[in-house]
Structure 1
Amino acid sequence: MAYQKYTPSLVLQLLLLALVLAIANGSDLKLGFYKKRCPRAEAIVEKATADHISVAPSLAAPLLRMHFHDCFVRGCDGSVLIDSKKNNQAEKDGIPNLSLRGYQVIDAAKTALEKECPGVVSCADILALVARDAIYQIKGPYWPVPLGRRDGRVSIASESLTLPSPFADITRLKAQFASKGLSVKDLVVLSGGHTVGTSHCSTIAARLYNFTGKGDTDPSLDSDYVPYLKSKCKPTDRTTLLEMDPGSFRSFDEKYYTNVWKRRGLFQSDAALLADKETSAYVKLQAESHGSTFFKDFEESMVKMGEIGVLTGKAGEIRRHCAMIN
């Protein structure tokens, strides 16, 4: 994929857009939004999430990723949950979203909520709550989730290609986050979500076997780590799963930053964090201080991310089924 060149004028435009988004995003969201119309809403979502995570804790990482992928395309409007139809391929069938899973958790929460208070709680709000509750279930941080999002009615697979890529360099990543009203600090903090979960060998095959098209290895990878990765992933392997945070991929902790600092981050986008003064300093801080501020920072950045481009008031709709537009 050819990356766009970021000129000073384009950077200024992105910063102005970020300012507008920062002012507009989440202004109508509030804590306890459903207190009168569906008092048990958050408790119902929490129970549905706990019921699934207690049986399959590995779902926590993909549910967090699902929320991220939703918010970065058309804002946090639940559009990633919509099924494709004959005349439209939806986001969930876009290439970056094919490995998403955990939709059954959203559906279980929605079903329970529709029995309790039909037509009140949006799928977008459910996804935001499930992501938080799933991470908390695996002993991760717990952040406040202001509510009041409404569901979008548009979902287009090709738009998922605008998601931050595991192959992106730091310039592209910073520009993409800025366009959503997120700071450079938010970028490096939210990257810490890679402390949980797995990815397929196909994501790093080029880094290991053909980085510049000459059969070489990415020089940003620790050379002592390369043999281990190659023992796990052969050049054409597209199915084997790799731990994003080896030895700690089920635990939400700061060890992701330790790995990145050692040049053992799995993705090119992880390695890219060492190519910028601000992101590199944060990686070093968390690696050396055993994550002294990581949980607090992650909570703050997740609140900001959860307010990207939200629909509120009379915009959008409240879907009866999360996979279908009313």
Structure 2
Amino acid sequence: MVRAPRRDRRDRADRGGCGVSDPSSGAAASEPASTDGEATGRDGDAVGRDRDATETESADATETESAGAPSDREHRRAIETERWLGVAGAALALVGLGVLVRQSSLVLAGAVGAGYVVYARAGDASAPALAVTRTVSDEAPEPGDEVSVTVRAENVGEEALPDLRLVDGVPPGLAVVDGPARVATALRPGTAVTFEYTVRAARGDHEWEPLTAITRDAAGARERTTALDAPTAIACTPELSAGGDLPLRGLTTVHHGRVPTDVGGAGVEFHATREYRRGDPLKRIDWNRRARTGELSTVELREERSATVVLVVDARESAYVAADPDAETAVEASVAAAGQAFSALLD
């Protein structure tokens, strides 16, 4: 943008060089060059001002974005509740009808409706500044135990929250058996609310989802939803209680690695003899046969192998079925049976 006038100036200087003998021509050629220089300077100043304005706008936009964007621990969403939907139209209709029929009462009623519309449009749902803590009575319960959960939310901001609703993110695998996992209240700055509920523990690792905070303005026209993280988790691991003897135990010996086979190899029980091969250990040579026949032969022992038992549980989604809603699922029963079998095999 700045170099183009310079090329024009050089072109004009070249063209003016052909008529140097005419002073008036030289003066006429020098004036446009000066004018182009001034235009170039003005263009440069304009470009500089535009660049400064762009940088300022970018910095302001960055500051606004960083100030208004939710953090990693908060996710916000604002919507219109449409509670006052149609009130503005009805108010205008009443005013118009009152003017046509010359009824002051209709005009007054329309004015009151318009006042409510202005009141609803004036406010906005506050962004909650809450400090949330969640505690559980037992972080490693047994399956079926009841775990008490206590949630405390404190308004650490400077604005009052006239309509605040809190919904805790209970893990999908846990059932609430006592108390609601939600509360509706109003909080002034520096005040807090606490609610408690009880869940029944189930096998597995369970992590709480973010707490959902819903705030509305005084008129209820605008609603803001905020997700607040308060990391909480429990690990419910069933004990491996020993069950009855399994039929599999009768097919193996008590000691590790004593499964009889029909293959010769490393072991302690005689299996067969074979012709001596160079490199066979001396302790494996049948010296009695060597004394009787003069031939060398090697004794092979019965190979011993360890028994491998694999317990398989079908944990597909289709296996989570039960006889009634309160009964344990087929997967839960299978896991319990596998735990008893595992303990029995270790004994």
Range of TM-score over shorter length: under 0.3
Taking CA–CA contacts closer than 8 Å with sequence separation of 6 or more, which of the two structures ends up with the larger relative contact order?
1
Q: TM-score, normalised by structure 1?
A: 0.19
* Structure with greater helix percent: 1
* Structure with greater strand percent: 2
Bigger CA radius of gyration: 2
Q: TM-score, normalised by structure 2?
A: 0.18
